[in-house]
Structure 1
Amino acid sequence: MTTQKSIGSFFKKKEGNSSNQPQTIATPSIPPQDERPSKCRRIQPEEMNVVDIERDPGLRPMMWEFPFNQRDEIRRAYLKVGPYQPRNIEFPFSGEARDESKREQMAIILRFVDKDGFVRERFFHVVHVKDTMSSTLKNEVCAVLSHYDLHVENIRGQGYDCASNMRGEWNGLQSLFLKECPYAYYVHCMAHRLQLALVTASREVKQVHQFFESLTSIINVVGSSSKRHDELQDAQALHIQNQISNNEIETKKRRKSNWYIAKSWRYSMEFSLSQIMEITNLLCKALQQQSQDIVNAMHLVSTTKSLLQKLREDGPKEAFKSFKVDDICKLVEKYYPKDFTDQENIHLRIQLQHYELDVLKHFDFQEISTLCELCRVLSSFGKSTIYHLVDRVIRLVLTLPISTATTERAFSTMKLVKTRLHNKMEDDFLADTMTIYIEKDITKTFTIEEIMEEFYQIKNRRRI
């Protein structure tokens, strides 16, 4: 009887040449379903631990890379842990950001004091950089400044955030500029300092930590449902209405009345001026008479001076108590030796002495609380020409940058200008468009006729 052969016997390797050995039937082995090759990498079930899932959206694998029967469980795990916010990360960019076409852009902001004494921060340019190394950034900044005939040695301040490529003491961008211009003092952005201090302090307070944990849970619950969002808004509106009825918060009408109160307090200086007019009124009338009584007039002058002195002593007499001439002269000699000669340092001390006595006689200087206001008042009353060295010191100090908020606003503008539909915008056109958008107060002064005339004079066009 003929022995039946299976399909596997034809593919099985024969051992030896003897045909007398019994032939065994081999069953073809079928590979399991999970071991079949796949076009995309999959994560096996034993590799996945829901507790140790990667929370960073930039590092965690895509959802289609997980096994099909675990995707719902992983989605629920991500919803349970909530949104991810990285902490203790030092951002590598300062003054740079990526646009819609994934190109690194560096924004340059100029801070200066204009002729009227106002501090200005103007958007100057945006430059594409290949990398964020400090040497690359310095070369790009110097190229832009030289293009507009601005010299690096005239820089008197520079400000960045806490990125290492910016604030590095040896190889950072600020150190490279200090080597070339030792008076370009670096100021760490005060807004970043405040943020770092706030984050560090909040971690030590248990109530604050619990507050942010509860806030994260509320955002996850409310944000995932439109119905819950509407219910939260209705509850908030009802709560505000109850606060208004209990006089716990101010309405628009009440704020307007408070504004009138503040406005009346603002004119308290004019009320002081009216007091001065009342005191000097008797002396003015006596001096305007045709028949002058010199003896009585001298007595009125003496009493008027006494009354004015009393008014001055009762007023803001402590406003300039902290004003010290020696400290200001030492500051100039230490930090700005290139901006003042030896002869100007001597004249500066004399001007400060005159200034200390002069400002007490003017009530316009009594309510000043900041250097910005002082610079504007000196310019408006023409005293910036008399005390020109004092004015120079004030302008040098005001040039120091305080924060990089203007730079961050420029990056926000870049996201509005260069969108997904305009991602092929060139760098020069992007810089021009951002300048027009950011500096609206300047562009509004131009008329269409002036722009057409300027464009017409650039190059002779063909006339039809």
Structure 2
Amino acid sequence: MVDVLEITNDLNTILQRKDQDIVNAMHQVRGSKTRLQCIRDNGWELLLEKLSLFCEKNNIENTNMDDPFYDGISRRRGSHVSSLHHYQVDVFYAVIDMQLRELNYLFNEVNTTLLISMASLNPSKSFKAFQVEDLIKMADFYPSEFLKHELGFLRGQLTNYINDVRGDERFSDLKGIGHLAKMMVETNKSIIYPKVYLLLKLALIVPVVTSTVERAFSAMKLIKNDLRNKLGDQFMNDCILSYIEKEVLDDISNEAIMDEFYRMKPRRQM
């Protein structure tokens, strides 16, 4: 657990930073997956060695892995599982596989490619991260916005765009994608390069959509629990909306809510 938590703790710390470079964050995710897989493939024997040394140092009787594993139930019924199988498969592999499944679910190949592609729009350091092919890959994720026959046109527009903004002093000190989109509107380059500006808007939408979905699922787990597992869809949606938009509802007085309720009540009766 210490080895696993060392890997995931560093990753969690990095992902929580607001100023985190997306490319470096994705490399950290891939590195964490690789390290966890390495522990799964080669870490069991090393763990047994550490266990033996710990038991010898503290005068603790070491477990014989060939003995049957007993818990409260299997001791009465007899066990067909060895201690080796229990600790290696049911504990060691299970913990690491749980971590890997979580990382693969949150950062699958599509999500990772999309985030790395979005990083190419970053205007920092004279658009150092800009890569035409990465942005073409990003466009492929939006087939309704970028048709196949338009990708060649997009490639040419991206080339013209990067040459233009790198030579424009107004784009030399931008802090992020949001500032870049604002500057493109102010300089009318959003009209000159409409497809590039569309990529910028899509990149700005992704974090908002992702965080909104995560908040909705978190709220649903709290609201639709074991005691309220028969909530209807409409009532649950209303409860989730109220839970998520707490700041908005705080500005609405109880009197206004009661007035709206009584105003709607005759319609419901009709």
TM-score where L is the length of structure 2:
0.41
Larger helix share, 1 or 2: 2
TM-score where L is the length of structure 1:
0.27
Larger radius of gyration: 1
Larger strand share, 1 or 2: 1
